[in-house]
């Protein structure tokens, strides 16, 4: 056996650089690069190794570990999980800064390789700077917090362990069912230790997309259920996009006259102008989709986790006793006693289609869908129309962005009032042009996420829509986007506080308290100059005074040579009334406030519609 003597860090880096995939017929590295903020625990050994391999495996520097991981997550999502990135940090705070992002990748089933530095395996210098000391357990370090939020976790305490750990990591990162974050916690001393690694370990390995086909029994049960359906509905989740099943879905829906509703992760599975696309479903759903969902008898749920925003906290499917769970992951496929159809979305839809043959949904059902769609579009047009109002709504800003950029742009968002409004109102074009992180809905994802999307789609217009709250939570990667020449268009909607939570507080009977800045304890009411702030980070930044100025600014942003930030004041109270569904938010059972007691009564009534098991 030919061997080569390398440090663990050199071997790991070389291995990552030799992992490949095929995109559009071309073999490319599966890792587009490594995000790194160095410190003790990664600068000496990982840093030295990344420098050696900087051409094959580029290293990118940012300003916050969590934000680097947001960019990596967004890159993987925008690449439909076919390509990915790694993230390395120093020990201690650098590592724990990654925790929120690791949980986000876990919830969203997105592949990211986390490489946090860890304490010394040999324990000689203990306790080192930034080491947490457990009085009762010598094996604990802060990196143990990654265990429950990683799909695969390993602590590398000997250099030869990566011979087993790295192939296991790749298996998880590339598997459609198990896909999620992998954490290899790299003890500082072990990173620097040399070992005689077999040369064959570094052979080029090409990973292709695995497409499990359904079993005969599950397929027969799903087909039998669909044959009895009088009112079938498809829910398209993120799995449709990750499987590349958008064309198959369109063909399937058209062949059988079945309307399609989209989750946050699944939006853009069909273009908005497809006649069978009912738009968003659930709490932030269109009236068109939700009316069908309430009445549908058989629901084909494709590649969705069926989270509460999709199911209206399980109050939405009043008539739908039969759910078919078409999913690569059995955990998802069997939720709420669904008939599981464990398979890749493309393979599953194709095989159901072959067995259904010419079977089509009753015409009155398809016609009802078309009417609902027309009605919805009228409501959406009204909500997004241009206005001269001093404080436009989020919907009106969305309208301006769409008029200025068209459906060719990719919109990026994550938290606040915007995700609900975008889910309802954004008219998506190509698959993946709607990029919402609404699994973990992490404030601060938006700008760093936009950067990751732009890395995946450098030739496309990427527009980040972000509230003032999310902007203030994490904005540092504006500077990174300027540094890397990755031009973003960022629209900041400033409603002077946490508008959506203030509305939720009001809806649950609460007093206006601690959400909008004016309702928070203060000596001085903040008046934040977002444009000046963004300009200080290197962006071209303007505060616009109207929807018309915003549209003009957006048109100019496209030709600017760097990231452009447009700030607009918005109304914190107005949202699109049409559509939507109840969402389970627990209201206090007793309170001195009559408004809370009234909200509790409504809450108890609404809960009666919630399906528990049947």
Ligand X SMILES: Cc1ncc(C[n+]2csc(CCOP(=O)(O)OP(=O)(O)O)c2C)c(N)n1
Q: Is 64 in the site for ligand X (CB under 6 A)?
A: no
Region of 222-230, 327-335, 450-458, 463-471 interacting with Mg ion (CB under 5 A): 463-471
Q: Is 446 in the site for Mg ion (CB under 5 A)?
A: no
For residue 6, CA distances in Å to 9, 162, 197, 270, 345 come to: 8, 12, 7, 49, 42
Q: Is 328 in the site for ligand X (CB under 6 A)?
A: no
The per-type count for the chain, helices as H runs and strands as E runs, is 24, 23
Q: C-beta of 567: minimal distance to Mg ion in Å?
A: 12
By C-alpha distance, which of 170, 191, 168 is closest to 17?
Answer: 170
Which positions ≥6 away from 256 have C-beta within 8 Å?
Answer: 226, 232, 353, 356, 359, 360, 361
Contact at 8 Å (CB) between 464 and 440?
Answer: no
How is residue 35 annotated by DSSP? E
Q: C-beta of 380: minimal distance to ligand X in Å?
A: 19
**Beta strands at 3-7 and 194-198: parallel, antiparallel or unpaired:** antiparallel
Residue 417 interacts, among ligand X, Mg ion, none and using kind-specific CB cut-offs from 5 to 8 Å, with: ligand X
Contact at 8 Å (CB) between 313 and 582?
Answer: yes
Which positions ≥6 away from 545 have C-beta within 8 Å?
Answer: none
Q: Applying CB under 6 A, which of residues 260, 418, 436, 541 lies at the interface with ligand X?
A: 418
Q: Is 111 in the site for Mg ion (CB under 5 A)?
A: no
Measured distance between the N- and C-terminal CA atoms of the chain, rounded to whole angstroms: 60
Contact at 8 Å (CB) between 117 and 186?
Answer: yes
Region of 67-75, 350-358, 405-413, 459-467 interacting with Mg ion (CB under 5 A): 459-467
Q: Is 499 in the site for ligand X (CB under 6 A)?
A: yes
CA separation for the pair 209, 111 (Å, rounded): 13
Region of 373-381, 413-421, 540-548, 604-612 interacting with ligand X (CB under 6 A): 413-421
CA separation for the pair 467, 532 (Å, rounded): 16
CA separation for the pair 283, 281 (Å, rounded): 7
Q: Is 180 in the site for ligand X (CB under 6 A)?
A: no
Please state the separation of Cα 583 from the chain's center in Å: 20
Q: Is 392 in the site for Mg ion (CB under 5 A)?
A: no
Region of 45-53, 60-68, 368-376, 442-450 interacting with ligand X (CB under 6 A): 442-450
Q: Is 395 in the site for ligand X (CB under 6 A)?
A: no
Q: C-beta of 528: minimal distance to ligand X in Å?
A: 11
Q: Applying CB under 6 A, which of residues 44, 501, 507, 528 lies at the interface with ligand X?
A: 501
Which residues from 112-131 bind ligand X, rule CB under 6 A? none
Q: Applying CB under 6 A, which of residues 8, 234, 316, 500 lies at the interface with ligand X?
A: 500
Structure tokens belonging to residue 245: 């099943």
How is residue 212 annotated by DSSP? P
Q: Is 307 in the site for ligand X (CB under 6 A)?
A: no
Q: Is 214 in the site for Mg ion (CB under 5 A)?
A: no
Q: C-beta of 102: minimal distance to ligand X in Å?
A: 14
Which residues from 478-497 bind Mg ion, rule CB under 5 A? 495
Which residues from 462-481 bind ligand X, rule CB under 6 A? 467-470
| One-character DSSP codes across 382-441 | HHHS----SS--HHHHHHHHHHHH-TTSEEEE-SSSHHHHHHHH----STT-EEE--SS-
Q: Is 219 in the site for ligand X (CB under 6 A)?
A: no
Q: Is 468 in the site for Mg ion (CB under 5 A)?
A: yes
Nearer to Mg ion, 421 or 468 (CB): 468
Residue 341 interacts, among ligand X, Mg ion, none and using kind-specific CB cut-offs from 5 to 8 Å, with: none
Q: Is 499 in the site for Mg ion (CB under 5 A)?
A: yes
Nearer to Mg ion, 465 or 547 (CB): 465
Cis ω for the linkage preceding 112 (within 30 of 0):
no
Q: Is 190 in the site for ligand X (CB under 6 A)?
A: no
How many CA atoms lie within 13 Å of 273's alpha carbon, on the beta-carbon side?
Answer: 4
Q: C-beta of 136: minimal distance to Mg ion in Å?
A: 44
Residue 432 interacts, among Mg ion, ligand X, none and using kind-specific CB cut-offs from 5 to 8 Å, with: none
Q: Is 467 in the site for Mg ion (CB under 5 A)?
A: yes
For ligand X (CB under 6 A), the number of binding residues is 17
Nearer to ligand X, 277 or 280 (CB): 280
Applying CB under 5 A, the residues found at the interface with Mg ion are 467-469, 495, 499
Applying CB under 6 A, the residues found at the interface with ligand X are 415-418, 441-444, 467-470, 495, 498-501
């Amino acid at each position: 056996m030919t061997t080569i003597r390398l440090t663990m860090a050199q071997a790991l880096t070389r291995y990552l650089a030799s992992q490949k995939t095929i995109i559009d017929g071309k073999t490319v590295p599966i890792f587009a690069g490594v995000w790194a903020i160095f410190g003790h625990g990664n600068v000496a050994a990982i840093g030295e190794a990344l420098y050696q391999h900087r051409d094959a495996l580029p290293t990118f520097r940012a300003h916050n570990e969590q934000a680097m991981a947001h960019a990596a997550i967004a890159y993987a999502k925008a690449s439909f999980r076919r390509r990915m990135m790694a993230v390395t940090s120093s020990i201690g705070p650098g590592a724990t800064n990654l925790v929120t992002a690791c949980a986000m990748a876990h919830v969203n089933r997105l592949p990211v390789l986390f490489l946090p530095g860890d304490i010394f395996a040999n324990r000689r210098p203990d306790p080192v700077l930034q080491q947490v000391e457990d009085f009762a357990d010598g094996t604990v370090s802060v990196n143990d917090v990654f265990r429950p939020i990683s799909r695969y976790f390993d602590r590398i305490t000997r250099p030869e362990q990566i011979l087993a750990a790295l192939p296991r990591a790749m298996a998880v990162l590339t598997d459609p069912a198990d896909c999620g974050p992998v954490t290899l916690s790299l003890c500082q001393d072990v990173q620097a230790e040399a070992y005689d690694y077999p040369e064959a370990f570094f052979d080029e390995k090409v990973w292709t997309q695995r497409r499990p086909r359904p079993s005969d029994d599950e397929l027969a049960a799903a087909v039998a259920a669909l044959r009895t359906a009088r009112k079938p509905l498809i829910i398209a989740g993120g799995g449709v996009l990750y499987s590349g099943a958008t064309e198959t879905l369109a063909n399937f829906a058209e062949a059988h006259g079945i309307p399609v509703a989209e989750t946050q992760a699944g939006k853009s599975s069909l273009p908005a102008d497809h006649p069978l696309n009912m738009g968003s479903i659930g709490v932030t759903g269109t009236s068109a989709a939700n009316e069908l969902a309430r009445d549908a008898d058989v629901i084909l749920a494709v590649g969705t986790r069926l989270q509460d925003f999709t199911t209206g906290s399980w109050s939405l499917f009043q008539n739908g006793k039969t759910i078919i769970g078409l999913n690569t992951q059995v955990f998802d496929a069997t939720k709420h006693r669904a008939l599981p159809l464990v398979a890749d979305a493309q393979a599953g839809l194709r095989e159901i289609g072959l067995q259904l043959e010419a079977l089509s949904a009753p015409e009155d059902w398809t016609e009802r869908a078309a009417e609902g769609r027309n009605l919805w579009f009228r409501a959406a047009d009204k909500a997004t129309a241009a206005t001269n109002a001093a404080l436009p709504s989020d919907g009106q800003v969305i309208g301006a962005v769409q008029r200025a950029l068209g459906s060719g742009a990719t919109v990026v968002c994550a938290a606040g009032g915007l995700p609900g409004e975008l889910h309802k109102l954004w008219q998506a074009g190509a698959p993946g042009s709607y990029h919402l992180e609404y699994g973990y809905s992490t404030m601060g994802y938006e700008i760093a996420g936009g950067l990751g999307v732009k890395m995946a789609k450098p030739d496309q217009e990427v527009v980040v829509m972000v509230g003032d709250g999310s902007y203030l939570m994490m904005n540092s990667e504006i500077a990174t986007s300027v540094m890397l020449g990755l031009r973003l268009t960022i629209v900041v909607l400033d409603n002077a506080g946490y508008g959506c939570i203030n509305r939720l507080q009001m809806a649950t009977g609460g007093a206006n308290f601690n959400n909008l800045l004016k309702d928070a304890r203060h000596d001085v009411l903040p008046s934040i100059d977002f444009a000046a702030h963004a300009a200080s980070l290197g962006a071209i930044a303007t505060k616009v005074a109207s929807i018309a100025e915003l549209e003009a600014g957006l048109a100019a942003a496209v030709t600017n040579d760097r990231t452009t930030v447009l700030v607009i004041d918005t109304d914190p109270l107005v949202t699109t009334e049409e559509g939507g569904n109840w969402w389970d938010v627990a209201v206090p059972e007793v309170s001195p406030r009559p408004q809370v007691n009234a909200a509790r009564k409504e809450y108890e009534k609404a809960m009666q519609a919630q399906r528990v098991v049947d």
